[in-house]
Structures are given as structure tokens and as C-alpha cells.
């Protein structure tokens, strides 16, 4: 059993932050003319843009705020612990998340009063890897609004092998940046070696041929399909009924062998796709989907 002070989502944020810090340290140590060759892999791989539109129902004034995220947090339960009993699949959870809602007491700059506003979310930029965290914790508060208990909702949620999120995208949608082959993906260990070489003054970064596109080079928009089709390739399961103590396992699809592997501490076992979809994915705490155009590059029959 692993005693955790942070859940897997918080750990992921910490890990991505450390990578970002390492990349920033590398960029500071290299010549400016080569800085475009080294970019933060979290930017192109995980980051997406979520837009929140608020419209005053009295005067019609609309404002939109955009934020960058690396994972979408979706609550499986609501305050009354009834949401999970009505929804049993990821697609319906997404429909509920992106559905328009109304909220009272929102200040309107034009009316100069608190008014009722409609609120709607939409996606303006898609990631290569879309991470969804199914927040299964149900918080109970007493009449004074104080935390009383935290319980876990184990209601199964079907996470399909493929999803299409096109209906949740705005008209300004930007597809994830394309890559020509998996070799174009940056290797963090190589970048760290380059940084260490410069810091220690034992070597300098050698100019590389421009025959291959750099990771940060602008790619023709037509080189990747403008669709929101994603394919499941990884998931995280949490064992235990407490948000403070539990055990995490992960299951990942290997494109080279077309197999699923479950990782449980030092134990690694192979899983069938049927078992992944009908058992593990239904109780998943986190699911990761890869854009299908990118996913194809990891298939054995890819060029």
C-alpha cells in the first residue's frame, strides 16, 4: 500500500512542473539561435485551451476567458451524490460538463448589477494527449458548511476505446501540432545531457542539419486532420476508500506489440483489451486518450 499525501492528479501536475523547470534551465544555457530546438514537451503534448463564456441574461453582454490546462477534472458525483447514478459513461459525463448552465449573483459590467448569467465551456485548442480525471470523491458537509466526511463513489463509468470530442470544440478550434514520426519527439534525457555539457563547459551543442523539421517548427495545418477523435491508451486505477491513503496501478497500451500492460509497483502483467475496457477502465480514476493521428504513428504498420 502506498500512503499518499497527494493524489495522482496532483502528482502529475508536480511532474509536469519539474519537466517545465528543467526545460527552462536548459533554454537559459544554450545560444539564443538554438533555443527554438528545445521546447517544453508538456506544451504540445498535454496542454489544451478551455474557454469559459459568460453571458448576462438581462443585457446580453458576453465575456470569454480562456485558460490553459493539462487535464480535465470531471466530477462523477455532485453535492447530492446523485450524478453518478444517472450517468454511466464518459461521453455522458462530458456532455454534462460542457452543457450550458445558469448562475445567479454574477456581476455584469454593463448592467453594473449582480445578474443571472449563462455559462458555457468549450475547447479552443486540443492536445496530443487528453487526460481526464474522474473525481470520485463525495464530500459531505454539516449544516454549518464544515467538512464532515469524504467517501469514494465506486459507480462504474464506461470509458470507450475511442471518443469524439468535436461537439465540445468552439469555432476557433486548433488541432494538436502534428509530428512526422515518433523520432521527432524530444528526449528529455538528451536535453539534460546537452544542458550539463554546456554548464560544465566540456562541450558545446553542435549544429544539427535542418533536413528534418525541428519540434517547434510550424507545421502545415493540413498535415493533421481537424477532428476531435481520440483513442484510449492509458489509465490509472485507485484502490482504497480514502482520499488520503490508497494504492495506484496503471495500465498502458504498447503500440509496438499492440498489447496492454498493467503496472503494479514492481509487478508487470499483460492484460487483454477486453479486460481493460470491461473491468479496469470502468473503475478508472484517470484515463488518457491520444489523438488518433498521433496514435497511428505508434502502430507497427506505420512508416
Tell me the average pLDDT across 173-188.
69
* Average confidence (pLDDT) over 27-54: 78
93, 72 in Cβ contact below 8 A? no
DSSP state of 158: B
Answer whether 253's CB lies under 8 Å from 263's CB. Answer: no
- Class of residue 288 by CB neighbours under 10 A (exposed 0-12, middle 13-18, buried 19+): buried
Quickly name the fold that domain 2-30+37-204+226-298 has. Answer: Cathepsin B; Chain A (3.90.70)
Q: For residue 132, give the nearest of 170, 167, 160, 110 by alpha carbon.
A: 160
Where are the domains positioned within the chain? 2-30+37-204+226-298
Q: What φ, ψ does residue 76 adopt, rounded to 5°?
A: -80, -30
| Residue 110 pLDDT level (bands cut at 50, 70, 90) | confident
Angle (deg, nearest 10), helices 8-28 and 188-199: 40
Question: Is residue 145 scored above 50 in pLDDT?
Answer: yes
The predicted structure's pLDDT at residue 119:
92
- Hunting for cell 450517468 — which residue is that? 87
- Answer whether residue 197 shows pLDDT above 80: no
Distance separating alpha carbons of residues 120 and 96, to the nearest angstrom = 11
Strand partners, 118: 55, 102
What is the grid cell recorded at 184? 521527432
What sections of 152-263 are H helices per DSSP? 188-199
Query: Who contacts 46 (Cβ-Cβ below 8 Å, separation ≥6)?
Result: 16, 70, 71, 127, 128, 129, 131
Q: What is the pLDDT of residue 28?
A: 77
Give the pLDDT mean for 174-199: 64
Q: What is the CA radius of gyration of the chain?
A: 22
Give residue 86's pLDDT band: very low, low, confident or very high (50, 70, 90).
low
253 pLDDT band (50/70/90 cuts)?
very high
Find out whether 184 and 113 touch, Cβ atoms under 8 Å. no
Per-residue pLDDT for 302 more than 70?
no
Of residues 222 and 199, more confidently modeled: 199
> Residue 162 in contact with residue 170, Cβ under 8 Å?
no
What pLDDT sits at residue 204? 41
Dihedral sign from CA coordinates of 42, 132, 48, 52: negative
Amino acid at each position: 500500500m502506498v500512503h499518499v499525501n497527494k493524489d495522482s492528479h496532483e502528482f502529475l501536475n508536480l511532474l509536469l512542473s519539474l519537466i517545465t523547470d528543467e526545460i527552462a534551465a536548459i533554454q537559459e544555457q544554450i545560444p539564443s539561435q538554438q533555443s527554438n530546438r528545445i521546447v517544453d514537451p508538456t506544451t504540445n503534448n498535454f496542454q489544451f485551451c478551455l474557454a469559459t463564456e459568460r453571458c448576462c441574461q438581462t443585457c446580453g453582454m458576453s465575456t470569454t476567458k480562456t485558460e490553459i490546462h493539462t487535464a480535465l477534472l470531471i466530477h462523477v458525483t455532485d453535492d447530492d451524490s446523485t450524478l453518478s447514478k444517472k450517468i454511466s459513461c464518459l461521453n455522458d459525463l462530458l456532455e454534462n460538463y460542457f452543457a450550458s448552465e445558469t448562475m445567479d449573483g454574477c456581476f455584469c459590467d454593463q448592467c453594473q448589477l449582480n445578474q443571472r448569467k449563462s455559462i458555457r465551456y468549450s475547447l479552443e485548442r486540443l492536445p496530443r494527449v487528453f487526460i481526464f480525471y474522474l473525481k470520485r470523491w463525495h464530500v459531505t458537509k454539516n449544516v454549518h458548511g464544515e467538512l464532515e466526511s469524504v467517501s469514494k463513489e465506486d459507480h462504474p463509468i464506461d470509458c470507450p476505446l475511442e471518443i469524439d470530442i468535436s461537439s465540445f470544440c468552439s469555432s476557433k478550434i486548433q488541432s494538436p501540432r502534428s509530428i512526422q514520426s515518433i523520432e521527432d519527439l524530444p528526449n528529455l534525457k538528451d536535453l539534460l545531457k546537452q544542458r550539463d555539457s554546456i554548464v560544465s563547459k566540456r562541450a558545446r551543442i553542435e549544429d544539427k542539419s535542418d533536413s528534418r523539421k525541428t519540434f517547434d517548427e510550424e507545421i502545415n495545418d493540413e498535415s493533421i486532420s481537424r477532428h476531435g477523435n481520440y483513442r484510449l491508451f492509458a489509465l490509472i486505477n485507485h484502490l482504497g476508500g480514502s482520499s488520503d491513503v490508497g494504492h495506484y496501478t496503471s495500465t498502458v497500451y504498447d503500440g509496438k506489440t499492440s498489447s496492454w500492460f498493467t503496472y503494479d509497483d514492481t509487478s508487470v502483467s499483460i492484460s487483454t483489451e477486453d479486460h481493460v475496457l470491461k473491468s479496469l477502465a470502468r473503475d478508472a480514476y484517470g484515463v488518457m486518450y491520444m489523438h488518433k493521428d498521433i496514435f497511428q504513428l505508434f502502430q507497427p504498420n506505420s512508416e
